[in-house]
Structure formats: C-alpha cells, structure tokens
Amino acid sequence: MTTARLILAIISTALEEAAIYVIWRWFLPEFDISLPFPVLVGIMVAWAAFAISLFVFTTRTLKKQVPVGLPSMIGAKGKVASSLDPEGMVRIKGELWVATAAEGDISAGENIEVVGEDGLKLVVQKATGSKWPIR
C-alpha cells in the first residue's frame, strides 16, 4: 500500500511541478508578469519539500493503530451517572457506558476507574486518589 501511495505521490508531484512551469512559461507572460528563473526554481523546490513532508506525515499517520473497543477502556476514569447496584451507567470521556461494580454498590456522582470488561459491559471500581480530572 505504501509503495502504491509513493508512486502516486511522485506522479502527482511531477504533474504539479509541470503545471508550475507551464504557468511560469506561458500564463504569466500573458499578463506581462516576468519572474526570474531562480524564483521558479525556488518555488518548485519549496513545493517538492511540501509534497515530501506531506507524504511522510500522511504515511506515519496511516500506520498508527488506534486501540478500539472495550479493552482499550481499562484504566479509564469517569463518574457514575446512575447508581451501580451492581449495574448502572457511567460517564467516561463524555460517553455513557453500561457498567457493573466490581465490589459493592457505587452511588451516582462518585469517581470510578475501569478495571475490566464483561461482554459489552465495563467492570468498574471506586477510584482511589484525586490526581485526575473528571469530565
């Protein structure tokens, strides 16, 4: 996939460079605008540098794998939206999730931490400490 994107990037950059040359050679003189050759070279080098940096940035971004699903929620912190006795709703990162209390009941408004998963439900416990913000 990266090789195909690289070939496409090279072809498209070459076409863009050709378009810059055509504009410099034939279009600008129609309006009595003349730019020296070193300016053309500078513009083309800057455009090539931009295209290379964009390709590198895009490639790195596409290679990153974002953790998805309930296993990625372990360790997340939030607040209880409706009492967990032992099941209820919790708010984590602005989203409501069905959760089960790992130990005992947890009242609405208390801070919680995700410690596991059970099917499509989160398993939570009361959070210890106050070093993290709740949203």
pLDDT at 135 over 60: no
What pLDDT, on a 0 to 100 scale, did the predictor assign at position 53? 97
Phi-psi region at 32: left, alpha or beta (left = phi > 0; alpha = psi -120 to 50): left
Determine the structural domain holding residue 121 and report its residue range. 70-126
Q: Is residue 134 part of a domain?
A: no
* Per-residue pLDDT tens over the stretch 30-71: 999 999 999 999 999 999 999 999 999 999 998 887 766 667
Q: Which of 45, 63, 81 is the last residue of a domain?
A: 63
Q: How many folded domains does the chain comprise?
A: 2
* Per-residue pLDDT tens over the stretch 71-110: 778 888 999 999 998 899 999 988 899 999 998 889 999 9
Q: What is the pTM of this model?
A: 0.52
Whether 12 and 57 map to the same domain: the answer is: yes
Q: Is residue 56 part of a domain?
A: yes
